[in-house]
Amino acid sequence: MSNTLGMKTDMIQIINENGEVDESRFKELKIDNELLKTMYHWMLKGKVIDKKFLNLQRQGRIGTYGSYRGQEAAQVGSALALEKQDWIVPSYREAVVSMVHGLDLKTFLMYLKGHFGGNRTPQDMNLMPIQVIIAGQIPQAVGIAWASKLKGENRVTACYFGDGATSQGDFHEGLNFASVMKVPAVFFCQNNQWAISVPFEKQMASETIAQKAIAYGMTGIRVDGNDVIACYQVMKEAVERAKRGEGPTLIEAVTYRQGSHTTADDWTKYRKKEEVEVWVNYRDPFIRFEKFLKKRGLLTEQQIEILVTQFEDEIEAEIAAFEKLSPPPAYEVFDHVYDHPHPELLKQKEELKNRIEATRRDHNA
């Protein structure tokens, strides 16, 4: 495996585009069939959820949505390599990562629908709120990892971001601090080739993102982000290094955003159709993993159809139940500012509450 001693970092791949694998090498990984099935379960469920969320946005039932289609392998593989006590610090495109870690669909729907509690994760889950500010979560992740180190906790902080985040100061400041303090963190960059409409080659002069680790004295790994097993393996090894006290790792998962940046964007304005078709028809993470599983007798077309129907029914039921909930009153926004609200905040909340109730009385009069 390549490391930061060289100026280039080779890309780690275990399953190729044809679903083929070096059997002797694969055997060394000690990945059992149950884990393979779990990987596919979450990849497919994530795909079904993503399609449904896109439809909900187009119907005006949720707000702006950022699709992760094409990045399922990177998200599922990396998330399954983490343990429940590990921290996850996501950006706005890691819905599957969060759900693998335990976030329920209802909470994510609350976020997409604009409910105040949508960014509040359950108390027993080490998951930070969704970060929309590009790279803003990276220094926060370093702080969490440093706190874990100071407390002597056996946990890792996994921070997720895209290639565009590496052009922000927060990325460089965060990685520098993480390396100096040797914190137990893994920085997982999903290089999906596009920072909205800016292609990778216009974002930076460096050949890879992984090689940026050289400047910070940390391990840098470049992995095929459409290979779920490779993503699992490199994340697992990075987690183990961190827990041994060997410091942070920067992982560049080379993948592709098949759709638009968000539902407020139109990829046809800046990408060629031929480019997208190559990634969709030949490099899609599902194509290779399904071929791999079918060759091993672990998956059939009938099983895929059953799973899709199961996931669709489950998601539809969740959405139907969620949409029956009444929206929270506007004054509850003040409940989600501080852990312990100060007197001025409580005063503002009471003023807004009284104003809303007065308006309602006047309307009913």
Which one is catalytic: 257, 283, 288, 331? 257
DSSP string computed for 126-156:
-BPPP--STTTHHHHHHHHHHHHHHHT----
Residues constituting the chain: 365
Question: What token pair was written down for 18?
Answer: 């044809």
Q: Are strands 194-195 and 198-199 parallel, antiparallel or unpaired?
A: antiparallel
- DSSP3 helix / strand / coil % (the chain, rounded to 5): 55, 10, 35
Collect contacts of 3-6 with beta carbons under 8 A, ≥24 apart.
3/219, 3/220, 4/211, 4/213, 4/214, 4/217, 4/218, 4/219, 4/220
Nearest to 294 by CA among 65, 36, 83, 24: 36
Catalytic residue among 155, 222, 241, 261: 261
Catalytic site includes residue 363: no
Q: At residue 175, what is the residue type? A: L
Whether 257 sits among the annotated catalytic residues: the reply is: yes
Answer whether 10's CB lies under 8 Å from 234's CB: no
Known catalytic residue at 270:
yes
Q: Which helix (H) or strand (E) holds 19?
A: none
SS3 state at 313: helix
Give first-to-last CA distance, the chain, whole Å: 74
What does the alpha-carbon distance between residue 63 and residue 91 come to, in Å, rounded to a whole number?
17
Which of 61, 120, 270, 271 is an active site residue? 270
Q: Is the dihedral of CA 334, 335, 341, 343 positive or negative?
A: positive
Amino acid at 170: D
Bridge-partner residues for 254, per DSSP? 191, 224
Residues that are catalytic: 257, 261, 270
